[in-house]
Chain A
Amino acid sequence: MTIRDYDDVPGTYVLDSRNYRKGYHLNMFLMSLNKSEARAAFAADETAYLQTYKLTAEQRQAVLDREYLRMLQLGANVYYAFKLVSHDKQPPQVMYGKMAQPAMSFDEFQAMMMAGGRPIDGNRSKKEQLNG
């Protein structure tokens, strides 16, 4: 078993085999939104469209609620999630802000980026954060 030393990086979801397996159908649903017919079908009846993918009840609810961080925790990858925020005709900063902790509005996230982004210092390592 590979030592996954990136597990020590805080607030980060790597699309490795664990998330691949957990999120396979969720990501394939998200990917389907590349097609305009699929976007129309999803817009017409989100619940019915989601039934055509083998999602867990939790995954389905996270999509319906646009709970982006929960989606990542359930195996989604951010590039796949991008398709959903685009479908909603919202800028990606809306999604980034919802995932960030503490959560931020579009304006708050944008302001953080304009001010140089989230600093790397203090955000490298869970161990480092525990030890202050």
Chain B
Amino acid sequence: MTDKVLTANRLSDGIAVWLDAAGHWTENLQDALVARHAEAAASLEAIGKRDFADNKVVDVAVIDVEETNGVLWPTRLRERIRAAGPTMNYASGYGKADAAFIAV
């Protein structure tokens, strides 16, 4: 099974978040809890449904990631951009996404 993590957007501000091992929603994909087997993935889905119902997050999804040298890398470009931010310098004080992370 492809490794999976649980992602969503926080209800109050819409910021992209991932579920960590402590059950908190973190803004850093690299802190996410990785499900490596079907049972764990099912558990992620259940937590996602619960936290959606509890009005903590919206747009919940379980996504595919690959782990290389300890770095989590979503297999879909869309999810890499969600994790790393816009890929260009878009605002003063906010850096662009790491090109190496975004690249296929």
> Does B associate with A?
no
Which chain B residues have a beta carbon within 8 Å of chain A's beta carbons?
none
Q: Which residues of A are in contact with B by a Cβ distance under 8 Å?
A: none
